[in-house]
Structure 1
Amino acid sequence: MMYFLRNFSNKTRLIRAVALATAGSGVVGFTSSSDYNTSVSVSIPSLRDSLQLPWRTMKENILHSAAFTYANHSLYGASPLFFSRPDPAPDANISSGADIGDSPKRSCNCLGRDSIANAATKVAPAVVHLSVPQGFHGITLGRSVGSGTIINEDGTILTCAHGLVNFQGLRSSSKEKIEVTLQDGRSFEGTVVNVDVHADVAILKIKSKIPLPTAKLGSSSNIRPGDWVLAMGCPLTLQNTVTAGIVSCVDRKSSELGLGGMHREYLQTDCAINEGNSGGPLVNVDGEVVGINIMKVLGADGLNFAVPIDSVSKIIEHFKKNGRVVRPWLGLKMLDLNSIIVENLKERNASFPDVGRGVLVPMVFPGSPADRAGFLPGDVVVEFGGRPVGSIKEIVEIMGDKIGNPFKAVVKRKNNVTETLTVIPEEVNPDM
């Protein structure tokens, strides 16, 4: 210490050294008068201001083989604690290249210490616990549990379908009553209004003499991989449970998950969900519902899936308009193309058409509308309904719910032969 003071006998040099040493962790100020009586003040921000949003993570140890599940079997491990430290919000008065008074206030889209809690608070009162009777031929053998979200003050509840169809059947309405419990402890009898098995979406209804709390439906089209989301619901009958994570993928296709049937897309997240979370809301940091949690992968950590709310909104409109979801069927198996896939296909077969994008047809179902229209395996659809297309999703959106309407399809075949076909979609069999 004495060596240090001897080397800094000049008080001005000492002040500068102290300033440099503390510049990274606080604010240094000093005053000096003519008689060299100098004072130094150091201000260091508190640890509480630096560590924002302490976040717990839970490692799930699953002892089962990898498979998609709606009723999960999970074991819990330790819960290590780590800290997330987002950049602090800049001073609202800071400006660049202009006077303070002339610059608009700058905002920081950082995740604050209250962001998760605020989002959960907005939605939580509308999240409900469902107890569903299970059995056959009118005999109740037990009850399953699930979650849902009140989306209208009249008691309309959004949930998943797979917890209802076992006793309800695919088409007839259930005579059984579903027990619906709100966060505040009130219980109601709910009835099934609509079910769409293909998308795993269902609508329930309860009656209340007073307006019920509701959650706002957001949009899933603006979600990006890495965005923070919350999974809310009643896992293992534990009501008012909130977990959080990020969006891992915004358009995970059902074919990638090994799920047969119609083409579907899911939001993939790493939020912790378990049995009872099914049907509960996936929520963004603005407190808006952006999906319905429906399934997870056994034997893997953080592989969970939700139906995007934009798809759900369209299904709800179908329910209101037709009482069911009307889906056109062409009878094609299709695959989205991109430049890399096209290059690979051309390496295998030099006669593959020169296309930059489009939808490949690997298979045509015999006797289907596409078969009657003249589609062949190996066709690449580049236009549909008068619009260029590069994905199955675009073709589905163009068809909408137009059953029996003719659509022009431009296809490219080997050696760059172009054909224009006319296909008339039929309605998907509801029991398929």
Structure 2
Amino acid sequence: MNDDKAQLPLPSMALGASDAVKTGDWTIVLGNPLGLQNTCTLGIVSSLDRSTGETGFDWMRHPLIQTDAAVNQGNSGGPMLNEIGEVIGMISMRALFGEGIGFAIPVDSIRTALPSLLSGKKVPRSYIGVKMAMREESGREHAVVDVVLDGSPAAEAGLKVDDQIVEVNSRKVRHFDEVQLAVRSLPVGTRMKLKVRRGEKSTSVVVTTADIRRLREASPASPAGRPRVVILP
């Protein structure tokens, strides 16, 4: 390669905006599925309301876009475009059993990570190590701890199964997604003060967020005992 070509900028694509993506919009997926280079498949946005928690990764809840465009091994890391060629997501996984169920990381999440990635740094993600659920009590639903992972920050801080989390850093929460969103928004190593209702008493628990890369749990199985998704290479 001569010096002139070496200095040419790499090809790039414009980034779209997550809030402009709607269910039913066209999706175009580019990649090298099964080694077949420069493959293009077409589909639609099947759902915007998916998360990693629904795909079997119950210890974290990152938003995902579901598409019915064909997705296979070799598509991971490839762009998902809208009909005008803007990047609206990055393919990450597909359903292990079933057809036409693929998932992409939304473009706004990618945009947030880009400065670190372009400077050669890793992107730390905070977690505390709980699976949560909504439970009805006295006619109202509450965010309740369903599972505490062994050795996790939550376990070390003393969070327990059936604890009801009512506040995060003095801010009231009513749904477990609010708790997960608060965790994701904080830098690794941040101390979170949780107000917890345990039985008839209220108590405070301080949890220090950790890098999710320290987590080495296998993917939980579906109710049928099988993984729900496969993360594509």
Q: What TM bracket, shorter-length normalisation?
A: 0.7 to 0.9
Question: What one-letter code is carried by the residue in structure 1 that aligns with 2:109?
Answer: S
**2:52 maps to what in 1?**
254
**2:68 maps to what in 1?**
270
Which residue of 215, 232, 236 corresponds with 2:13? Answer: 215
Larger Rg: 1
Q: CA deviation at 1:251?
A: 3.2
**1:123 maps to what in 2?**
none
- Counterparts of 2:97 and 2:149, CA distance in 1: 35
Q: CA deviation at 1:306?
A: 1.4
**1:395 maps to what in 2?**
182
Matches within 5 A, 1:150-169: none
Aligned residues: 210
**Residues 234 and 276 in structure 1, CA contact (< 8 A), matched pair in contact too:** yes
**Residues 194 and 204 in structure 2, CA contact (< 8 A), matched pair in contact too:** yes
**2:86 maps to what in 1?**
288
Find the residue that maps to 1:361 and give its secondary structure. Answer: strand
Find out whether 1:319 has 2:117 as its counterpart. yes
**2:193 maps to what in 1?**
408
Flag structure 2 segments of 5+ consecutive residues without an equivalent: 217-233
Question: What one-letter code is carried by the residue in structure 2 that aligns with 1:277?
Answer: N
Question: What one-letter code is carried by the residue in structure 2 that aligns with 1:364?
Answer: V
Find the residue that maps to 2:165 and give its secondary structure. Answer: strand
**Residues 29 and 41 in structure 2, CA contact (< 8 A), matched pair in contact too:** yes
Find out whether 1:423 has 2:207 as its counterpart. yes
Find out whether 1:383 has 2:167 as its counterpart. yes
Matches within 5 A, 1:186-265: 208-259=6-57, 262-265=60-63
- Counterparts of 2:213 and 2:105, CA distance in 1: 21
> Which has the higher relative contact order, 1 or 2, with Cα contacts under 8 A spaced 6 or more apart?
2
| Percentage of matched positions with identical amino acids | 36
**Residues 334 and 363 in structure 1, CA contact (< 8 A), matched pair in contact too:** yes
**Residues 60 and 180 in structure 2, CA contact (< 8 A), matched pair in contact too:** no
**1:29 maps to what in 2?**
none
CA distance 1:226–1:275, change in 2 (3 Å): same
Q: CA deviation at 1:302?
A: 1.3
- Counterparts of 1:226 and 1:429, CA distance in 2: 34
Q: TM-score under structure 2 normalisation?
A: 0.73
Q: TM-score under structure 1 normalisation?
A: 0.43
CA distance 1:228–1:412, change in 2 (3 Å): farther
Could you say what the CA RMSD is over the residues aligned between the two structures, in angstroms?
Answer: 3.1
- Counterparts of 2:214 and 2:18, CA distance in 1: 26
- Counterparts of 1:298 and 1:424, CA distance in 2: 34
**Residues 59 and 131 in structure 2, CA contact (< 8 A), matched pair in contact too:** no
Q: CA deviation at 1:297?
A: 2.9
